[in-house]
């Protein structure tokens, strides 16, 4: 079990037991939004697939730094400071590692697409965070614009008793275009004043309050 002593760094973990939920996209976007808001941010990629690491390699020397670390090795990144934030991109289908991450986290974000497959899979993630006694929230991600399934998904998620982000992140091509270049929509010249960028800034502002 990971032990944390005198930790002042906040740890924000994006956790889902289903692949394709939007974890990496949300993780890197929220990390950059937090950095732009004045926090000292580092990204930890615990997923063997290494999507966040790839984003960091494409990004080059620009902050935030992305490091590869195992779920039980987060204590090596235990930086101190009131404005220090570690954003964790986790692996799906890794229950023991997920439990360790949940125990180590200040807040767990459970991304969920408004689809029956995603909604069916959240119960296992909820069980993990409840066992860890760690605060957790739902964020609806990759939502089709204006789709009625979004509100239907909220009703289903409400049954799990966790807070639900009142907005959503809409499925837009600009997200993949930005990450493909090692950036995010809040910093690229053509997108930083877009609706996509507004959604990310609003999401980060809400998550920061939850932290």
Using the predicted structure, report yes or no on whether residue 192 has a pLDDT greater than 90.
no
Per-residue model confidence as pLDDT tens digits over 126-167: 999 999 999 999 999 999 998 999 999 999 999 999 999 999
**Distance between CA 198 and CA 142 in Å, rounded?**
15
Count Cβ neighbours within 10 Å for each residue of 178-201 and write b for 16 or more, e otherwise: bbeeebbbbbbeebbebebbebbb
Query: Would you state the pLDDT for residue 151?
Result: 96
Of the CA atoms within 13 Å of residue 54, those in its CB half-sphere come to 10
DSSP string, the chain: -----S--SEEEEE--SSTTSSHHHHHHHHHHHHHHTT-EEEEEE--TT-HHHHHHHHHTTPSSEEEE--GGGGGGG---STTEEEEEEPPSS-HHHHHHHHHH-SEEEEEE-SSHHHHHHHHHHHHHHHHHT--EEEEE-SBPTT-THHHHHHHHHHTTTS-B-SS--B--HHHHHHHHTT--TTTSTTTTTSHHHHHHHHHHHHHHHH-
Q: Return the top range by mean pLDDT from 76-80, 83-87, 96-100, 157-161.
A: 157-161
Tokens coding 176: 């993949």
Task: Provide the residue ranges of all domains of the chain, joining segments of one domain with +.
Answer: 10-109+172-210
Averaged pLDDT for residues 26-50: 95
Residue 71 has pLDDT above 80, yes or no: no
Structure tokens at 29: 């976007």
Is the confidence at residue 188, as pLDDT, over 70? yes
Distance CA 33, CA 123 (A): 29
Q: Which of 152, 132, 156 is nearest to 144 (CA)?
A: 152
Please give the pLDDT value at position 78: 56
Predicted TM-score of the model (pTM): 0.91
Give the span between the Cα atoms of 39 and 61, in whole angstroms. Answer: 18
pLDDT band at 80 (very low <50, low <70, confident <90, very high): low
CA–CA distance, 12 with 77 (Å, rounded to integer): 13
* CATH fold group of domain 10-109+172-210: Rossmann fold (3.40.50)
């Amino acid at each position: 079990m990971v032990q944390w002593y005198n930790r002042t760094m906040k740890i924000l973990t994006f956790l889902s037991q289903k692949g394709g939920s939007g974890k990496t996209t949300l993780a890197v976007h929220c990390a950059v939004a937090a950095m732009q808001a004045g926090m000292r941010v580092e990204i930890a990629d615990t997923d063997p697939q290494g999507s966040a690491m790839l984003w960091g390699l494409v990004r080059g020397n620009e902050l935030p730094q992305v490091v590869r670390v195992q779920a039980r090795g987060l204590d090596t990144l235990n930086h101190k400071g009131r404005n220090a934030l570690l954003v964790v991109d986790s692996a799906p289908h890794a229950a023991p590692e997920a439990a360790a991450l949940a125990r180590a986290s200040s807040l767990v974000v459970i991304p969920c697409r408004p689809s029956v497959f995603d909604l069916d899979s959240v119960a296992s993630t909820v069980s993990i965070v409840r066992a860890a006694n760690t605060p957790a929230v739902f964020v609806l991600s990759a939502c089709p614009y204006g789709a009625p399934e979004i509100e239907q998904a909220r009703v289903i998620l409400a049954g799990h008793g966790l807070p639900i982000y009142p907005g959503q992140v809409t499925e837009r091509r600009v997200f993949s275009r930005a990450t493909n270049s090692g950036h995010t929509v809040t910093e690229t010249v053509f997108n930083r004043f877009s609706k996509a960028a507004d959604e990310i800034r609003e999401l980060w502002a809400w998550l920061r309050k939850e932290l």
